[in-house]
Each structure stands twice: as structure tokens, then as C-alpha cells.
Amino acid sequence: MRVLGIAAIAGGVLRIVDSFTTGVLSPQILSLLYFVTDVLLLLGIAGIYWSRRATLGIAGTTGAAIFALAIIWIRIAAYTMPGANGYQLGAAIALIGLAILSGEELWRRRGVQAAPVVWLAALLFGIVGALGLVAPLMTIAAGVAFGAGFVMAGRQVLATPAPAQ
């Protein structure tokens, strides 16, 4: 669990960094950075799900699965559809998955949890950006909020007591 929590934090930090690297780094370096980020996010969502599975219902489980499938879609699209907008579709679906997971987390825990609130903000920023309203700024804000949610959730995974042996 510790490794998965650390992966969530590292993936979140890299996602925040990714928000500021477009056009700064070479396409080859960006491709590698995005690949590493996605692998860490997949490991991170596994840890987030695993640490919360006892309190998640079908919506939370479905949201986590949708997120994982969307990240896998992004990776497949990166190699099979160069130049296509597979990333846009995958990112939108990933945010929807996190929104479903976040909604259930907030509903079941009946308290404000930082990571779900930040993930919902990322979805809102993404929608505003997709509508063309302050698009570059909203895209950056969505990426930063998305990454920050993973950092927060990863810290919660690290704080989860290990199961008894």
C-alpha cells in the first residue's frame, strides 16, 4: 500500500509538472514524461481504490474503473493514433470517472474530503476550458487540480493503517 500511495503522490506531482511542460520540452521527453505519469496514476488509483474499497459502493468502484480504462485508452491512443485527439477523449473520460468516484466519496463519508473536491474542480475547469472560456488557463488549472487531488489522495493512502497480518 505504501508503494501505491507514493505512486499516487508522484503521479500527481508529475501531472502538475506536465501542465507547464508543453512546448518547453522536446516531444520525445514529453512522451516519456507522460508515459511515466500515466503509469504512476494507474498505480495510484489502484492504491486509492484499495484503501477505500470497504466504504465504496458500485458508483465509486465504477468511477475508479472508468478512470483506469481512460488512462489505458490514452496510452493506447498515443501509440496507435499519432496526431489524433485520443488524449482529449481519454482525459475527459478519466475526469468523469474521478467525478463519479468523488461524488460517492463525498456522499458516503458525509464530510468534505479534499481530494474529491479538487477532482471535481478539475472537471469544472476542464469543462470551462473545453467551452473555450479562458482555455489555456483552464487547461493548466484542470491539470494542476487533477494532480493535486492525487497528491492529497496518495497522502491519505499512506496514512491508512496497514491491515493486520
The position carrying cell 498505480 is 43
Strand, helix or coil for residue 121:
helix
Q: Is the pLDDT of residue 60 over 60?
A: yes
53 burial via Cβ count (<10 Å: 0-12, 13-18, 19+): exposed
Residue 39 identity (one-letter amino acid) = V
CB 115 within 8 A of CB 60: no
Integer Cα distance of 49 and 4 in angstroms: 10
Residue 108 identity (one-letter amino acid) = R
Higher pLDDT, 83 or 66: 66
pLDDT tens for 1-52 read 899 999 999 999 999 999 999 889 998 899 899 999 999 999 999 999 999 8
Integer Cα distance of 102 and 134 in angstroms: 25
The grid coordinates listed for 56 are 465504496
Strand, helix or coil for residue 15:
helix
Q: Is the pLDDT of residue 70 over 70?
A: yes
Task: Output the average pLDDT for the chain.
Answer: 90
